[in-house]
Every structure is written in C-alpha cells, then in structure tokens.
Amino acid sequence: MKFKISKKVWDFLRSVVQSDFERCGLLFGRGDVVLQAIEIENIRKSPVEFELSPLESLKAFEEAEEKNLEVVGVWHTHLQNATPSAKDIQGMKNFPGLWIISSRKEIRGYVLEREVLEVELEII
C-alpha cells in the first residue's frame, strides 16, 4: 500500500520534530493523496502521548470541508523512533486512516487493517 505526500507536507513533518513534547494534527487530502497537514494542539503536552484538542479538531474538519478535501489521517511526533505505541494502535482503531509518525530519525506511515501495516510514503 502506498500514499502520496506533497513535498510541502513532508517538509512540514520534518520541521516539527524539534520539540520536548509530542506535536500532532490532521492530514487533509483525497483518497491516498495527502495535500496538507494541520497542527492541532496536544492538550496532554506530554513527551510520550498526545490528545488532539476537540475544538481545534472540529474546526479542522470544517476547514477541510470548505476546501473540498477529506481528513485522511493523523500525524504526530515521537521523540525517538517512528513506530506506533500501544496507545497509537488503540487510536488507529478509533480513528482509521493513515497515521504518520515523525521522529528526528525518520518519517513513517501506518494503517490498521487486521494488524498494523507500514505503508510506503511517496513524496510528490
């Protein structure tokens, strides 16, 4: 499975990793193409977990609709490796779609089907 990521989104995801807590947000696009990444406040302000601000998330869904885009996934940062935690996997069950994890070392994408699958991310 492959998702296409705009260069602008890729560059943004590389830029957000220099923080002492996890940063997070939503991905806008169409189908398997990610065109925009929106940052949402992490109300946990934690170095090991995130929770999207409900109010900012609602506004982001409205913004996506106004732009005629879909919310195709979630992005967040890890301070170490870009692999899903147990909490991330639980989140994938509640919010299906593409999950991108950005760390200082790498950016990786995942989807949850019967199990967590890593997906190829192609920069466009």
**In the predicted model, what is the mean pLDDT of the chain?**
96
Tell me the mean pLDDT in the region 66-92: 96
Q: Which of 22, 56, 70, 122 is catalytic?
A: 22
Q: Is 118 a residue of the active site?
A: no
The per-residue pLDDT for range 26-56, each reduced to its tens digit, is 999 999 999 999 999 999 999 999 999 999 9
Provide the CA 111 distance to its chain's centre, in angstroms: 11
**Whole-angstrom distance, CA of residue 17 vs CA of residue 19:** 6
